[in-house]
Amino acid sequence: MERIDVSILGRDYSLACAPEEKAALQAAVRHVDQLMLRIKGSGKVSSNERIAVMAAIQIASEMLAMKAAPDGPLGGLAVGDFKRKIEAMNHLLDEAISGQERLV
């Protein structure tokens, strides 16, 4: 593991990551820092904790809205939709297993 020092919203953090993940981690830190600075600059949110929560919600929303490649096996399905479909299938499987156990 490699340690890297980063700054987010003016605060310094020391993070550990595998050397091959360093560039991706630095890009993620830049994305989070820029987003948090933008939220802070809007003047609508002042505490760092609330800024971090708002940034986390926006990043999660971005991730869930990302779509798979249209020519891939998921055919343009958004990550959030995929996650909901998997959860629905798991629920159906749990119900089927539960029903099966009642029969035994």
> Domain range spanning residue 14?
1-65
Question: pLDDT for 16-66, tens place per residue?
Answer: 999 999 999 999 999 999 999 999 999 888 899 999 999 999 998 888 777
Look up the pTM and report it.
Answer: 0.66
Residues 13 and 47 in one domain: yes
Domain match, 29 and 74 both: no
Q: Are residues 77 and 59 in the same domain?
A: no
d(CA 2, CA 95): 45
Q: Are residues 60 and 80 in the same domain?
A: no
56-97 tens-digit pLDDT: 999 988 887 777 667 776 677 777 777 787 888 888 888 888
Question: Do 57 and 85 sit in the same domain of this protein?
Answer: no
Q: Could you tell me if 3 and 53 lie in one domain?
A: yes
Q: Is 77 found in the same domain as 27? A: no
**CATH code, domain with 4:** 3.30.160.880
Beta-carbon contacts of residue 29 (< 8 Å; ≥ 6 apart): 6, 8, 15
The verdict on 52 and 98 lying in the same domain is: no
Assess whether 43 and 2 both reside in one domain: yes
